[in-house]
């Protein structure tokens, strides 16, 4: 029906939009012949800036569908870049989109980066992804009632959007986008603030954030001291000391720990000023001493021994301290 309507000049209107949304949401691999039909159709819906609930709902559904398109699907930027950039810029000025709509627009764009490295300049410098992600997540943190128990905070739409931002950020760090250290530190700090609030509320959300922290540690563009400034390493140490005896807590952090050790081996002091590096190390050791992290880790050494046998990881505590 979609192809026939396209051949006849597009006469189905609303039905065509519904059909495009359905097939994009349902197909893991969208047929190539439908890409040049469905993508412009859905972007046209999202470009509508009329201030009405119906228009906002239409944009939300269209952008949600677009964000579901497989990241590996080949797509020429001429098909989408001008329109998606206009949608994001207009929202940044007028705030016309719903939260899910805006997150979906970013997810669609971030997922296209691997097709064209030139998109990085648009995403990072023109549209300021890090700034926008930080602002959105801070606002979502404020609008969720984390004490809500009747359904659990994980049931709310806002928390689902936070989880979707985690996925988008995972792809962002996976693609090693270049940001200045200040932007990275602000974004990292925002994620740390969120984790401190949500970690006791939902195991699922907690695991998603730790998975994201692991990807950040592995990102070539992030120096260890940026993660320190943002508070990720502090967060890991605190959470490990507080919850490592709980079921699954060590499981959640184990890949992060392995990635951190590997990064500490690879991202040597030579990559930034020696003076700055010494200052960072001193701050870490002072933190260990003040908070008792080293004692707590030594007390739980038996758990690391179990972890060593299970995952074939040698001398985790000593590796960690030596390379830190």
- Whole-model pTM: value is 0.83
Say which residues have a Cβ less than 8 Å from residue 34's Cβ, sequence separation at least 6: 2, 3, 20, 23
Q: What burial letters (b/e) apply to 51-82, b meaning 16+ CB within 10 Å? A: eeeeebebbbbbbbbbbbbebebebeeeebbe
Is the pLDDT at 146 greater than 60, yes or no? yes
Question: 270: burial class by Cβ within 10 Å (0-12, 13-18, 19+)?
Answer: exposed
The stretch 112-119 carries a mean pLDDT of 80
Is the pLDDT at 316 greater than 50, yes or no? no
The more confident residue out of 6 and 122 is: 122
Which of the four pLDDT bands, split at 50, 70 and 90, describes residue 315?
very low
Q: Is residue 291 part of a domain?
A: no
Measure the N-to-C terminal CA separation of the chain; round to a whole number of Å: 60
Span 148-194, pLDDT tens digits: 654 554 567 888 899 999 999 999 988 878 877 788 889 999 999 99
The stretch 192-198 carries a mean pLDDT of 87
Is the pLDDT at 246 greater than 90, yes or no? no
Is the pLDDT at 270 greater than 50, yes or no? no
Tokens representing 287 are 């933190």
Q: Is residue 56 part of a domain?
A: yes
pLDDT score for 253: 76
Candidates 99, 77, 101; CA nearest to 87 is: 101
Is the pLDDT at 10 greater than 90, yes or no? no
Is the pLDDT at 99 greater than 90, yes or no? yes
**Considering the chain, what percentage of its residues have pLDDT values greater than 90?**
37
The stretch 215-226 carries a mean pLDDT of 78
Contact status, residue 85 vs residue 126, Cβ threshold 8 Å: yes
Q: Is residue 222 part of a domain?
A: no
Span 28-74, pLDDT tens digits: 889 999 999 999 999 999 999 998 999 999 999 999 999 999 988 88
Span 224-238, pLDDT tens digits: 777 777 888 778 777
The per-residue pLDDT of the chain, averaged, comes to: 80
Out of 80-84, 104-108, 210-214, 313-317, pick the least confident: 313-317
Say how many residues make up the chain: 324
Q: How many domains in the chain? A: 1
Question: 217: burial class by Cβ within 10 Å (0-12, 13-18, 19+)?
Answer: buried
Rounded CA separation 99/76 (Å):
27
Q: Is residue 160 part of a domain?
A: no
**Considering the chain, what percentage of its residues have pLDDT values greater than 70?**
72
* Residue at token pair 């439908």: 34
The stretch 111-129 carries a mean pLDDT of 87
Is the pLDDT at 20 greater than 90, yes or no? yes
Say which residues have a Cβ less than 8 Å from residue 136's Cβ, sequence separation at least 6: 99, 102, 103, 165
pLDDT score for 322: 45
The stretch 291-312 carries a mean pLDDT of 57
Question: 151: burial class by Cβ within 10 Å (0-12, 13-18, 19+)?
Answer: exposed
Contact status, residue 175 vs residue 114, Cβ threshold 8 Å: yes
Contact status, residue 101 vs residue 61, Cβ threshold 8 Å: no
Is the pLDDT at 317 greater than 50, yes or no? no
Q: What burial letters (b/e) apply to 170-199, b meaning 16+ CB within 10 Å? A: bbbbbbebebeeebbbbbbbbbbbbbeebb
Q: Is residue 205 part of a domain?
A: no
Say which residues have a Cβ less than 8 Å from residue 256's Cβ, sequence separation at least 6: 210, 213, 214, 217, 236
Q: Is residue 137 part of a domain?
A: no
Rounded CA separation 164/16 (Å):
27
Q: How many CB atoms lie within 10 A of CB 91?
A: 19
Could you list the residue range(s) of the whole structural domain that residue 99 is in? 1-118
Contact status, residue 199 vs residue 240, Cβ threshold 8 Å: no
Q: Is residue 215 part of a domain?
A: no
The more confident residue out of 243 and 111 is: 111
């Amino acid at each position: 029906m979609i192809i026939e309507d396209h051949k006849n000049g597009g006469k189905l209107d609303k039905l065509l939009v519904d059909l495009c949304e359905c097939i994009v949401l349902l197909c893991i691999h969208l047929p190539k012949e439908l890409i040049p039909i469905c993508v412009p159709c859905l972007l046209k819906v999202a470009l509508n800036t009329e201030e009405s609930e119906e228009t906002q709902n239409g944009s939300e559904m269209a952008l949600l569908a677009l964000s579901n398109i497989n990241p590996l699907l080949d797509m020429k930027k001429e098909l989408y870049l001008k329109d998606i950039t206009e949608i994001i810029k207009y929202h940044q000025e007028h705030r016309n989109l719903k939260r899910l709509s805006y997150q979906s627009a970013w997810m669609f764009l971030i997922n296209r980066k691997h097709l064209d490295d030139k998109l990085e300049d648009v995403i990072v410098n023109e549209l300021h992804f890090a700034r926008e992600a930080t602002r959105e997540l801070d606002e979502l943190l404020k609008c969720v009632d984390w004490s809500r128990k009747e359904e659990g905070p994980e049931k709310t739409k806002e928390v689902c959007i936070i989880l979707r931002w985690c996925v988008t950020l995972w792809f962002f760090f996976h693609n090693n986008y270049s940001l200045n250290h200040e932007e990275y530190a602000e974004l990292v700090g925002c994620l740390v603030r969120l984790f401190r609030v949500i970690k006791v509320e939902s195991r699922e959300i907690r695991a998603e954030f730790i998975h994201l922290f692991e990807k950040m540690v592995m990102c070539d563009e992030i120096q260890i001291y940026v993660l320190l400034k943002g508070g990720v390493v502090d967060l890991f140490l605190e959470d490990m000391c507080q919850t490592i005896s709980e079921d699954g807590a060590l499981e959640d952090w184990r890949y992060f720990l392995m990635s951190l050790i590997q990064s500490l081996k690879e991202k040597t002091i030579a990559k930034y000023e020696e003076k700055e590096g010494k200052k960072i190390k001193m701050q870490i050791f002072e933190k260990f001493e003040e908070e008792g992290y080293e004692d707590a880790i030594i007390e739980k050494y038996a758990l690391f021994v179990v972890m060593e046998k299970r995952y074939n990881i040698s001398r985790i505590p000593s590796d960690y301290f030596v390379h830190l």
